[in-house]
Amino acid sequence: MIPFFELFPMPLIHLHKTHSTNTWLRELCQRQNVEAWTTVLADFQTSGRGQRGNSWESADSKNLLFSFVIFPDFLEASRQFLISQIISLGIKEELDTYTENISIKWPNDIYWKNKKIAGILIEHDLMGEKLCRSIAGIGININQEIFYSSAPNPVSLFQITGKQYETVGILKNILLRIQSYYNDLCMNSTDSIEACYKESLFRKEGLHPYKDVNGEFFARIVNVEPQGKLILEDENLKMREYMFKEVEYLSI
């Protein structure tokens, strides 16, 4: 019998336990040449890293915890949001095959209804004006039954559907979906990527509560610009523009 991992379509490194797959892969890239799409998969992380310096909780061997590396040296650093968009879309579209109500919460959280099912941490390295390396780390809650940390609103595929899943098959499909979008990016077909991203947005319709440095307000999403800026129109029809972390989504 051929071991399952030998059939995997990209180089796959499976670790039982590591500090963080992003850190592990970065250290590997610093020591040696690493092929594009090399993927590091861990059963457990002792210091899983999230956005804004947060940690990422995941029970041992229950979920998907992985990082992969690409070298998008054709892409201006100012267009790095496209990498975020294609990764979000790959995850969202794979999760769509298991359940309804998956969306992308700007800029790149994956939601089921109003709960977070997956998070993405992308670390770019630049060479002048261009990207030279991107390490994308992804945590997807698949089979976890209970969450204990203070993460505000986690949910797993098991909690949604009541079923357990074989995680490596889901990983393979996600990577192939992201690769397909990446090929579009290489061909400069960015319009369709941006259109799919906007179509997939959490709260893409209607007025919802938000908070910025000046306080709370209701607004609707008008656009996400190519560089990632979120454009909201508030109840008084005033346009408000935000870069990452400048606005908070509130729940009612």
Residue number, 138 or 196, with CB nearest to ligand BTN = 138
Residue number, 45 or 217, with CB nearest to ligand BTN = 45
Distinct helix (H) and strand (E) counts, the chain: 5, 12
Q: How far is the CB of 111 from ligand BTN (least distance, A)?
A: 11
3-state secondary structure of 158: helix
Residue number, 48 or 72, with CB nearest to ligand BTN = 48
Whether 160 and 111 have beta carbons less than 8 Å apart is answered as no
Of 189, 186, 115, 127, whose CA–CA distance to 153 is shortest? 115
Write out the residues near ligand BTN by the rule CB under 6 A: 20-22, 45, 48-51, 54, 56, 65-67, 109, 119-121, 137-139
Using CA atoms, how far apart are residues 209 and 216, in angstroms rounded to an integer?
A: 7
Residue number, 56 or 202, with CB nearest to ligand BTN = 56
Instruction: Quickly list DSSP for 125-160.
Output: EEETTEEEEEEEEEEE--S-----SS-SSB--HHHH
Using CA atoms, how far apart are residues 126 and 132, in angstroms rounded to an integer?
A: 5
Q: Please report where in the chains the tokens 């005033």 appear, as a residue.
A: 238
Q: How far is the CB of 245 from ligand BTN (least distance, A)?
A: 12
Residue number, 11 or 50, with CB nearest to ligand BTN = 50
Q: How far is the CB of 137 from ligand BTN (least distance, A)?
A: 3
Residue number, 98 or 244, with CB nearest to ligand BTN = 244
Of 48, 68, 67, 66, whose CA–CA distance to 58 is shortest? 48
Q: How far is the CB of 25 from ligand BTN (least distance, A)?
A: 9
Q: How far is the CB of 60 from ligand BTN (least distance, A)?
A: 13
Q: How far is the CB of 135 from ligand BTN (least distance, A)?
A: 9
Using CA atoms, how far apart are residues 9 and 163, in angstroms rounded to an integer?
A: 26
Using CA atoms, how far apart are residues 67 and 90, in angstroms rounded to an integer?
A: 14
